[in-house]
Amino acid sequence: MSDLEAFRVETRAWLEANCPPEMREPVRDDDDACWGGRNFKFKNPAQKLWLETMAARGWTVPDWPKAYGGGGLSAEETKILRSEMAKLGCRPPLMSFGIWMLGPALLKFGTEEQKLHYLPQIARGEIRWCQGYSEPGSGSDLVSLQTFGEDKGDHWVVNGQKIWTSYADKADWIFCLVRTDKTNKYQGISFLLFDMTTPGVSTKPILLISGSSPFCETFFDNVKVPKHQIVGELNRGWDVAKYLLGHEREMISGGGLGEGLASLGAAFPDAAANEPVLRAEMAMFDVETIAFRAHSERFMDEWKTGRAHPAYSNLMKYVGTELNKKRHELVMAAGGSDALEWESARSKGGAKPRTWLRTKANSIEGGTSEVMLNVVAKRILDMPGA
């Protein structure tokens, strides 16, 4: 038996022994997931136990170094772990912007002190983060942001506004782009970390057409941020931001994989049998999903070994989000008028239409589809700019 096969056997046995039955059910929605953080209220004892058990083994971030709270697994071992979790239906023990976005940026740009301070807390689910990028006049064109940090010697005083800050009203800390030099558009931005309880920080939820929303407006009024909470070099925060955005787009593109979902043809056998046009659309979609899954595997291998084209995450984000939108449009079509039920016990509170409407944001958040296509055209296809 090879070392990897032995690892697979051991991992399967460990998961079977340690994953509570309640954590082998699919996550129903954001409120059903474990987000961690100092104010998070666990839904049941099993959710807390699963997080603590996985964190103790370093398996909330299996491929991070052990010194920073990770499991120290190789890329191949990490794949095996995720594969075995999927086979048993194990939930992710923790949903976290810290894991998906900030952690990789800290591993690359953070000081040793920052890594040792923040990463283990992220791995244990003790800090919930939000992202302070977009502003009312700076969405896809982030380099035009106006939130300003005035140099006060040993600290900055930050003033401005962010928008579309997901879960800002629930987050403990924010990773935030702040202009620290008004004379240089691209090299006048710094990447700062600060506590959301710092005096001068306030949030206001934004409601969406789906009836619920993770989004907030976030305001900074003379917020004092110590100098040591900068990540990377002064005025070179755009380098950190671009690297982090690659991981954010990789995360968002994952919606195209439809993890935990059967093929549409198998999920809606009556519609597939009785409606030829819809059956053909479902079949084409299932083929596209299989192709995207295979492409995603290759991309992740190349990304983790530094061989992926820097703009490839833009392509994956575009394709993944378009696939996710199409999936839910087909689900609605297969469900007929019943799928439109908004509030009823049978519809589980309108879960299908609310999720369908939520997917409309997929091609906007993390960079619009139009921006993604522009980047692909210029940087991958080497086409001339407008």
Tokens 């046009």 found at: 277
Structure confidence by residue, pLDDT tens digits, 223-251: 999 999 999 999 999 899 888 887 777 77
List the Cα angle 268/274/278 in 5-degree steps.
65
Structure confidence by residue, pLDDT tens digits, 80-117: 999 899 899 999 999 999 999 999 999 999 999 999 99
Give residue 16's pLDDT: 96
Residues 6+ apart with CB under 8 A from 56: none
Query: Does residue 357 register a pLDDT over 80?
Result: yes
Mean pLDDT across the chain, nearest whole number? Answer: 89
Q: pLDDT band at 59, cuts 50/70/90?
A: very high
Alpha helices in 209-275 (DSSP H): 237-253, 264-267, 269-274
Name the 3-class secondary structure at 246: helix
Query: Does residue 210 register a pLDDT over 70?
Result: no
- Cβ contact 114:106 at 8 Å: yes
Query: Does residue 139 register a pLDDT over 80?
Result: no
Whole-angstrom Cα distance, residue 133 to residue 367? Answer: 11
- Rounded (10°) CA dihedral 156, 161, 166, 170: 60
| 77 closest CA partner among 147, 10, 172, 161 | 10
Give residue 269's pLDDT: 80
Q: pLDDT band at 192, cuts 50/70/90?
A: very high
Q: What's the rounded mean pLDDT across residues 246-267?
A: 72
Whole-angstrom Cα distance, residue 158 to residue 112? Answer: 25
Residues 6+ apart with CB under 8 A from 112: none
List the Cα angle 62/67/73 in 5-degree steps.
25
Q: pLDDT band at 37, cuts 50/70/90?
A: very high
Whole-angstrom Cα distance, residue 378 to residue 374? Answer: 6
Answer yes or no: pTM beyond 0.95: no
